[in-house]
């Protein structure tokens, strides 16, 4: 009996020591435990915000090898409008630290966006941006009206055109390099 128990213990220990780089969720029916294995070297951009209308947010990025923004270097998320804060997560590809970020906020002209905070994280390192400092790291274009006291953004049409987006400021890229390179 001791040999069987010892054999099972060794097998379980060996399986637990495997270093699997793929992100996965596993569920063991006997134990009823969800286990989430996180990817290494994946930069995550998270925004906690109240988004009043349905939207699709897209983050475009340039890597060191890129010369211009393209659809293949983008991550999109559909947002259901709500008066409750929600977390919007964008995962960059493995081993990518962007040198420029373009954050497009959608096409719904009536949408109001209250950014509570944002963060970039990789492995166990987190760089947090409070909502009142978002403007220090991202520059809105002319289609976004920023209210500095409430950290809220309203979208607007100018001469029949509408293309709201934020551009990363150099200070953001410097911080990403400092935290994640």
pLDDT digits (tens, 9 = 90+) for 10-31: 554 545 544 444 444 444 444 4
Q: What is the pTM of this model?
A: 0.75
pLDDT, mean of residues 122-128: 95
Residue 132 is given by DSSP the state G
Q: Domains in the chain, please, with CATH? A: 2-37 (no CATH), 44-180 (2.60.60)
Decide if 97 contacts 181 (C-beta within 8 A).
Answer: yes
Q: Where are the beta strands (DSSP E) in the chain?
A: 24-28, 33-37, 44-51, 55-62, 74-79, 86-91, 100-104, 112-122, 125-130, 138-140, 144-147, 152-155, 165-168
Mean pLDDT of the chain: 83
What does the pLDDT read at residue 148?
A: 78
Task: For residue range 133-174, list pLDDT tens digits in order.
Answer: 999 999 999 999 988 777 788 888 999 999 999 999 999 999
């Amino acid at each position: 009996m001791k040999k069987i128990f010892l054999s099972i213990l060794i097998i379980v220990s060996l399986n637990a020591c495997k270093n699997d780089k793929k992100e996965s969720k596993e569920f063991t029916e006997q134990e009823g435990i969800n286990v989430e294995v996180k990817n290494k070297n994946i930069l995550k951009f998270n925004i906690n915000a109240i988004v009043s209308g349905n939207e699709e947010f897209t983050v475009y990025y340039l890597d060191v090898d890129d010369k211009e923004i393209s659809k293949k270097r983008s991550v999109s998320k559909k947002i259901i409008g709500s008066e409750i804060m929600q977390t919007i997560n964008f995962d960059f590809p493995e081993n990518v630290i962007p040198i420029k970020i373009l954050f497009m906020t959608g096409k719904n002209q009536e949408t109001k966006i209250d950014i509570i905070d944002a963060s970039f994280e990789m492995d166990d390192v987190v760089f947090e941006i409070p909502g009142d400092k978002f403007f220090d790291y991202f520059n809105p274009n002319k289609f976004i009206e920023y209210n500095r006291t409430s950290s809220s953004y309203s979208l607007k049409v100018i001469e029949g055109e509408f293309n709201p987006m934020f551009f990363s400021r150099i200070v953001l890229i410097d911080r990403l390099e400092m935290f994640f390179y």
